[in-house]
């Protein structure tokens, strides 16, 4: 894979095959069924963020309708999250949009973290082709994936003090979210139904099932090597099971003045130890740093440092994260699987040269990062 083909680096991939004008008309007609009689909603052309998002489809739109109680027109800024079109080779095999909306509401209720308010949930795929939900739109800045925020943009242009505030604000979200330890009984809908004595064992079983779906009979020496490492370095004492965001990275947070104002993208939420989210935040930054270095850029070495994140987290919660080296590699494994699925999708759409050897779809810098993380993770 060449530099120009690095996932998330410089080009926007194909993520949808849907007609935007058709979606607009459908949303407008659907809103008329959700609003009071006589509301007569109108929806202008839709917008989709191009700098973030590889999985569910995000549609930004304004909706104007007549408020019967006030007798005047009103406009609201909304966001629809739609399960991907099967024709677009989705990243995951299953998208439970009502469950995503529910976990957002549970996260907000239990932890108080800023999550966009969900307005409507539509489980009927007949409306837009797949289930979706609509939430209120929040104003703020999201660190971009394309190109990564450590290669250009407002995060790179910020002062070290501003980035430190962004880091602290993000860790504060994780600290607040993880108070759900005592509410696991309310998270049954997020428990993975796979064999395993612990939440972490069931989490790995889920990931292995996901890999089987991606591979479809093909093999990857890289995946096998990382799985063997995980087995050999399994934590002796797992952290408590709690609500895990699952996709905790800077690009899934909206900031205003470097403070968190919205926590986004909950499709990977599950029940897992607290180290999962903390290590994913550090790993994903390390991954984007590897891309920046590949382009000869310095990146942002003052952001997303695992030791600093752990210290901030412990200060905020009183909980000492353990075995973080393992969890960083585990999250590298999770991301590796997603990367391979995205590579297959890009082959499908002609963005990458087709290969039956999945390891050939991985950039050498990605493999080097995996080796480095396993070497340092083995030391604790």
Catalytic residue IDs: 247
Between strands 118-122 and 132-136, the pairing is antiparallel
Task: Tell me if the bond preceding 129 is cis, omega within 30° of 0.
Answer: no
Sequence-distant (6+) residues with CB within 8 A of 82 are 56, 57, 58, 59, 97, 128, 129, 130, 131, 132
Residues 339 and 6: beta-carbon distance below 8 Å: no
Residue 280: closest CA among 227, 331, 338: 331
Token pair in block for residue 91: 């990243």
- Tell me how far apart the alpha carbons of residues 49 and 27 are, in angstroms, rounded to a whole number: 18
- Tell me how far apart the alpha carbons of residues 340 and 211 are, in angstroms, rounded to a whole number: 9
Helices and strands: H and E segment counts in the chain: 10, 8
């Amino acid at each position: 894979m060449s530099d120009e083909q690095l996932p998330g680096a410089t080009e926007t991939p194909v993520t949808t095959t849907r007609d935007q004008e058709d979606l607009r008309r459908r949303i407008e007609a659907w809103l008329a069924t959700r609003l009071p009689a006589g509301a007569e909603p109108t929806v202008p052309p839709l917008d989709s963020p191009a700098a973030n998002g590889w999985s569910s489809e995000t549609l930004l739109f304004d909706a104007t309708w007549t408020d019967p109680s006030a007798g005047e027109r009103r406009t609201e800024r909304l966001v629809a999250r739609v399960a991907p079109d099967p024709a677009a080779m989705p990243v995951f095999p299953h998208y439970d949009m009502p469950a995503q909306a529910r976990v957002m509401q549970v996260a907000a209720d239990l932890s108080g973290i800023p999550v966009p308010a969900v307005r409507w949930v539509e489980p009927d795929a007949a409306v837009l082709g797949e289930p979706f939900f609509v939430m209120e739109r929040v104003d703020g800045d999201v660190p971009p994936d394309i190109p990564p925020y450590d290669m250009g943009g407002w995060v790179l242009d910020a002062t070290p003090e501003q980035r430190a505030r962004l880091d602290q604000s993000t860790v504060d979200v994780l600290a607040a979210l993880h108070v759900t330890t005592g509410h696991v009984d309310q998270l049954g809908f997020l428990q993975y139904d796979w064999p395993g004595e612990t939440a972490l064992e069931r989490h790995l079983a889920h990931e292995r099932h996901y890999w089987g779906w991606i591979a479809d009979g093909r093999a990857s020496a890289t995946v096998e090597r990382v799985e063997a490492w995980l087995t050999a370095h399994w934590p002796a004492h797992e952290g408590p099971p709690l609500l895990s965001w699952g996709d905790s990275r800077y690009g899934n947070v909206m900031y205003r003045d470097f403070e968190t104002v919205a926590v986004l993208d909950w499709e990977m939420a599950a029940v897992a130890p607290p180290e999962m989210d903390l290590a994913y935040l550090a790993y994903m930054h390390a991954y984007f740093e590897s891309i920046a270095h590949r382009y000869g850029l310095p990146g942002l070495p003052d952001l997303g440092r695992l030791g600093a994140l752990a210290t901030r987290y412990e200060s905020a919660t009183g909980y000492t994260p353990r075995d973080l080296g393992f969890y960083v590699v585990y999250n590298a494994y999770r991301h590796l699987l997603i990367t391979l699925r995205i590579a297959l999708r890009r082959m499908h759409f002609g963005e990458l040269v087709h290969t039956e050897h999945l390891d050939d779809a991985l950039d050498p810098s990605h493999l080097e990062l995996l080796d480095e993380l396993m070497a340092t993770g083995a030391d604790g």
